[in-house]
């Protein structure tokens, strides 16, 4: 355990570093490492305005095959002939799976299927999508999405993960896992927002807890996210923030979150950061920082540092995670990820090595 003074210094340093990263951030969206690298809005590759889930045609076909793999496909017409997620003009499918073998320092080891999502989208009209994402571990999203409205407005209704901070692909990142936006983080409700070239804003009203049981009480959750992109001296900048207020039944607020997020790109280096305060009976702090180095076509190296203190006002310990991974994009639909992480959890420290296979369409 750290002494109170040392812990306060560490927390202040993390908050300051997150603020500095935001001040010098590049054009970011959901799945930020790709969006930073290519300077594009997340909807270029995903149907969901806040990112993640089933890929749009550009993401499933051209981006996956011409930008990611070790040996990219240069014949655009060949990609279109070989890869087509459209069953017909109105129906699209897709999937993501992640399976891995891991070994803990103490000797535990196992194979595990970490993700298995099957996507289906019915597109009856140009501005309407009926969407289903059924996951291997009981998680699912199902919603209607209306977009292309005036001022680039969208409206979503159904079951989904509300827009908050970065929707990182790494579901074990503390800003996803500790805040409840990781696996099985979906909630029932409605979300509306505006996604434009210079920024985005979204507001969701949901039941306030991820459950398949009907939540009939009056208490609900409000989740808001906003970012603004601008250019200063030839540098693209983004400033973003999120807020969440959630209740369950007649209890006091289940949680109140507020945080900042950002990142920047310098040459082959991309840096992302998010920091959030968590207020309930105590005040906690959680942060994730991620550096990605684009070594060459089809090969990235990333380093993640997570920090979590459930009660920064008390001398009761903290958790952290350091993860280093190498991403080899073997083809336009397959990625191999060897990784090692060192983690402190509930006072215990241990290391875990893994090799993960990620497939998508």
Supply the DSSP string of 53-64, one letter for each residue: SSBPHHIIIIIH
Task: Answer yes or no: is pLDDT of 142 > 80.
Answer: yes
Q: Where are the alpha helices (DSSP H) in the chain?
A: 4-23, 32-38, 57-58, 64-66, 76-82, 174-177
181 touches 167 (CB < 8 A): yes
Q: What is the mean pLDDT of the chain?
A: 82
Q: Which two three-digit tokens encode residue 319?
A: 């958790």
Q: For the whole model, what pTM was predicted?
A: 0.84
Q: Quick one: pLDDT at residue 48? A: 84
Which residue did the predictor score with more confidence, 222 or 11? Answer: 222
Q: What is the DSSP letter of 181?
A: -
> For residue range 38-54, what is the model confidence (pLDDT) as tens digits?
555 666 677 888 778 88
Q: Which two three-digit tokens encode residue 110?
A: 């196992």
> For residue range 213-245, what is the model confidence (pLDDT) as tens digits?
566 666 789 999 998 877 777 666 778 999 999
DSSP β-bridge partners for residue 349: 344
Query: 103, exposed or middle or buried, with CB in 10 Å at 0-12, 13-18, 19+?
Result: middle
Q: Quick one: pLDDT at residue 38? A: 53
226 touches 198 (CB < 8 A): no
Q: Kindly state the average pLDDT of the residues 201-208.
A: 91
Q: Of all residues in the chain, what percent carry a pLDDT higher than 90?
A: 43
Q: Quick one: pLDDT at residue 18? A: 42
Q: Where are the alpha helices (DSSP H) in 171-260?
A: 174-177
Judged by DSSP in three states, 207 sits in coil
User: At 12, is the pLDDT very low, low, confident or very high (cuts 50, 70, 90)?
Assistant: very low
> For residue range 174-203, what is the model confidence (pLDDT) as tens digits?
999 999 887 778 899 999 999 877 788 999
Q: Kindly state the average pLDDT of the residues 110-133.
A: 92
Task: Answer yes or no: is pLDDT of 126 > 90.
Answer: no
Count of all residues that appear for the chain in the document: 361
Which residue did the predictor score with more confidence, 26 or 268? Answer: 268
Other CB atoms closer than 10 Å to residue 149's CB: what's the count? 12
Q: Quick one: pLDDT at residue 248? A: 61
Which residue did the predictor score with more confidence, 121 or 18? Answer: 121
Task: Answer yes or no: is pLDDT of 85 > 50.
Answer: yes
Rounded Cα–Cα distance for residues 305 and 285 (Å): 14
Rounded Cα–Cα distance for residues 64 and 49 (Å): 19
259: closest CA among 346, 329, 165? 165
HSE-up of 135 (CA within 13 Å, CB side)? 17
Which residue did the predictor score with more confidence, 153 or 15? Answer: 153
22 touches 240 (CB < 8 A): yes
Rounded Cα–Cα distance for residues 97 and 80 (Å): 23
Q: Quick one: pLDDT at residue 8? A: 46
Task: Answer yes or no: is pLDDT of 25 > 50.
Answer: no
Which residue did the predictor score with more confidence, 89 or 51? Answer: 89
Q: Quick one: pLDDT at residue 24? A: 39
Integer angstrom CA distances of residue 328 from 39, 283, 299: 22, 40, 5
Q: 244: domain CATH number?
A: 2.40.160.10
| Segments forming the whole domain that contains residue 109 | 4-360
Judged by DSSP in three states, 33 sits in helix
56 touches 50 (CB < 8 A): no
Q: Kindly state the average pLDDT of the residues 66-93.
A: 83
Rounded Cα–Cα distance for residues 87 and 85 (Å): 6
Task: Answer yes or no: is pLDDT of 109 > 90.
Answer: yes
Q: Kindly state the average pLDDT of the residues 312-335.
A: 91
Q: What is the DSSP letter of 36?
A: H
Number of domains in the chain: 1
Q: Quick one: pLDDT at residue 42? A: 67
Q: Kindly state the average pLDDT of the residues 83-94.
A: 89
Phi first, then psi: give them for residue 22, nearest 5 degrees: -70, -40
Buried/exposed 161-190: b ≥16 CB within 10 Å, e otherwise: bbbbbbbbbbbbbbbbbbbbbbbebbbbbe
Q: Of all residues in the chain, what percent carry a pLDDT higher than 70?
A: 83
Judged by DSSP in three states, 47 sits in coil
Which residue did the predictor score with more confidence, 128 or 26? Answer: 128
User: At 143, is the pLDDT very low, low, confident or very high (cuts 50, 70, 90)?
Assistant: very high
Q: Kindly state the average pLDDT of the residues 164-173.
A: 87
């Amino acid at each position: 355990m750290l002494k109170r003074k040392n812990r306060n210094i560490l927390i202040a340093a993390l908050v300051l570093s997150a603020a500095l990263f935001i001040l010098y951030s590049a054009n970011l969206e959901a799945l930020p490492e790709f969006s930073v690298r290519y300077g594009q809005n997340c909807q270029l590759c995903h149907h969901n305005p806040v990112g993640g889930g089933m890929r749009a045609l550009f993401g499933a076909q051209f981006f996956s095959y011409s930008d990611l793999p070790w040996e990219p496909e240069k014949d655009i017409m060949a990609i279109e002939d070989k890869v087509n997620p459209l069953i017909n003009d109105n129906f699209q499918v897709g999937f993501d799976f992640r399976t891995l073998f891991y070994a803990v320092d103490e000797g535990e080891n196992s194979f595990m299927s970490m993700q298995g999502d099957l996507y289906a989208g019915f597109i009856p009209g140009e501005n309407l999508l009926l969407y289903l994402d059924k996951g291997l571990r009981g998680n699912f999203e199902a919603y209607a999405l209306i977009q292309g409205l005036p001022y680039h407005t969208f409206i979503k209704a159904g079951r989904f993960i509300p827009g908050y901070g970065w929707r990182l692909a790494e579901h074990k990142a503390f800003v996803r896992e500790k805040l409840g936006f990781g696996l099985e983080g979906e909630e029932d409700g409605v979300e509306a927002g505006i996604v434009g070239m210079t920024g985005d804003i979204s507001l969701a009203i949901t039941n306030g807890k991820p459950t398949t049981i009907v939540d009939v009480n009056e208490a609900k959750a409000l989740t808001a996210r906003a970012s603004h992109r601008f250019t200063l001296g030839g540098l693209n900048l983004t400033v973003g923030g999120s807020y969440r207020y959630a209740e369950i039944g007649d209890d006091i607020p289940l949680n109140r979150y507020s945080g900042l997020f950002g990142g920047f790109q310098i040459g082959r280096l991309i840096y992302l950061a998010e920091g959030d305060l968590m207020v309930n009976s105590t005040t906690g702090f959680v942060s994730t920082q991620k550096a990605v180095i684009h070594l060459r076509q089809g090969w990235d190296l990333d380093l993640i540092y997570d920090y979590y203190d459930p009660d920064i006002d008390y001398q009761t310990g903290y958790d952290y995670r350091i993860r280093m991974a190498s991403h080899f994009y073997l083809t336009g639909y397959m990625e191999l990820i060897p990784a090692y992480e060192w983690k402190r959890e509930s006072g215990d420290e241990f290391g875990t090595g893994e090799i993960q296979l990620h497939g998508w369409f």
